[in-house]
Amino acid sequence: MKKVVIVTGASAGIGKATALQLIKEGHTVYGAARRVEKMDELVSAGGKAVAIDLTRHEQVHTEIQKIIETEGRIDVLVNNAGYAVYGAIEEVSYEQAKQQLEVNLFGLAEATKAVLPAMRSQKSGTIVNVSSIGGKVYGPLAAWYHASKFGLEGWSDTLRLEVSQFGINVVVIQPGVIKTEFSEAMDQKLTQDSSSPYKDLEHIALKMIENTNKPGQYSEPIVIANTISKAINSKNPKTRYAAGKMAKQTLLARKMLSDKAFDKMFLRMVKNYGKK
């Protein structure tokens, strides 16, 4: 069945791959991003590009309402836009932390609130929230990113309980290691301050991040795009889909291990990277 879909963060990575895949399947797709010029490929494929900055809440509501008025309905919202703030908790500024939550959680919430009245009215719809395995597991120097994704997981569970009465599905996608522009989009200060008490840990974290960009260490964005397609085309989608390199293995390890055991495993890995 042809659906009207909005995909945020559609200018690159998972968002772009998802938009292109859904266009290919025949859906009416609106890509939303700050960088409209980065969505030329989407438009050429038959999609539509809309400039939306998730931190501008009034703009979010205005632009999404225009789409609903044009199409007469909205079937799917894929909340994909996001980035990561990296740095020690002690050294990340309030402004950086606030911006992290503003994009990854509050902006996402406003986009969701913008589509819910239409979905309630039509008694159908699917909200897809792209979280991360980082919404269930954690590591050093990414506290605010994890806070946004852990928060998104619980927020999604609550939303699901609230809107199921209206025939609306809420799905969480948990990507593993995916080849995207994620590392380039990070707001990070790693290794920039030689006097930082966390400088050794920062150097190791940077090595770990760089390793994920090596061939064989990641999955392509299409893996997540196909997972999202599967979810929105299902009559009874699962509440969560884990996909991509190391996703299921990592989540299983976290489920099986106690906090202290998981800490020990992660710190051992950090120590091993430090020897490289």
Based on the residue annotation, tell me whether 145 is a catalytic residue of this protein. yes
Which one is catalytic: 30, 131, 132, 138?
A: 131
Measure the CA–CA gap between 238 and 203, rounded to whole angstroms. Answer: 39
Measure the CA–CA gap between 84 and 187, rounded to whole angstroms. Answer: 6
Which one is catalytic: 30, 83, 145, 241?
A: 145
Which one is catalytic: 3, 136, 149, 245?
A: 149
Cβ-in-10-Å burial (0-12, 13-18, 19+) of 216 comes to: exposed
Based on the residue annotation, tell me whether 194 is a catalytic residue of this protein. no
Contacts of 139 (CB under 8 A, 6+ apart): 146, 205, 266
Supply 256's token pair: 């099986």
Based on the residue annotation, tell me whether 219 is a catalytic residue of this protein. no
Residues in the chain: 276
Helix (H, G, I), strand (E, B) or coil at 198: coil
Based on the residue annotation, tell me whether 131 is a catalytic residue of this protein. yes
Alpha helices in 8-142 (DSSP H): 13-24, 40-44, 57-71, 94-101, 108-122
Q: Do residues 243 and 36 lie in contact, with contact meaning Cβ atoms separated by under 8 Å?
A: no
Measure the CA–CA gap between 115 and 130, rounded to whole angstroms. Answer: 17
The count of C-alpha atoms lying within 13 angstroms of the C-alpha of 263, restricted to the half-sphere facing its C-beta, is 3
Measure the CA–CA gap between 88 and 93, rounded to whole angstroms. Answer: 10
Alpha helices in 136-245 (DSSP H): 143-163, 199-211, 221-232
Which one is catalytic: 3, 11, 156, 218?
A: 11
- What are the catalytic residues? 11, 131, 145, 149
